Amino acid sequence: MEMDAKSSPDDIGELSRRTVLVTAATAAVAAAGVTAGLAQSATSASFGAPLVEMSFPVGVLDVEQKAAMIRGVTDVVRSAMKLSPDPARKLFVEIFETPEGGFGVNGQAVIPRGR
C-alpha cells in the first residue's frame, strides 16, 4: 500500500515513533505495577508531548544512573516549560546507548575507560 497525504505510518502497517513511545510508556507503567487508571493515561498521551533524547556510549550509565538522569531531566524540562507534574501530561525521556566507537565529540570517537 502506498502512503498518501491522508495516510499515516500506522495505516500501512508501520510503527510511528509516537506509537512506539506510547507502547513503551504503557509497558513501563505495567511493569512497575501501577494502577490500571494510570496505565490507561499512558496510552492516551497527547500529541506534541515533549521528548528529550540523550546518547551515551554503552555501559557509561548503570540502571540507577539512568533512572536518576530521567528524573532529573524531567524535573528540569517541566520547570523550564512551566508544566505541571500531572500524570496525564506526558514528557518522554529516551536514553540511547551507542556501541563502542559509535559516539564522538569534536570529530573524535569516544571510547569509555575500563570499569
The domains of the chain are located at: 9-45, 49-99
Distance CA 56, CA 73 (A): 15
The pLDDT tens digits along the chain (115 residues) read 444 444 444 445 666 766 666 666 666 655 555 444 444 444 444 557 889 999 888 888 999 999 999 999 999 999 998 888 887 888 899 999 988 888 788 998 877 676 4
Cell of 13: 502497517
Topology annotation, domain 49-99: Macrophage Migration Inhibitory Factor (3.30.429)
What is the model's pLDDT at position 10?
46
Q: What are the distances in angstroms from CA 103 to CA 56, 71, 113? A: 7, 24, 14
How many residues comprise the chain? 115
What is the model's pLDDT at position 68?
96
What is the model's pLDDT at position 88?
81
Residue 34: phi and psi, rounded to 5, are: -80, 160
What is the model's pLDDT at position 90?
86
Burial class, 42, CB count within 10 angstroms (exposed 0-12 / middle 13-18 / buried 19+): buried
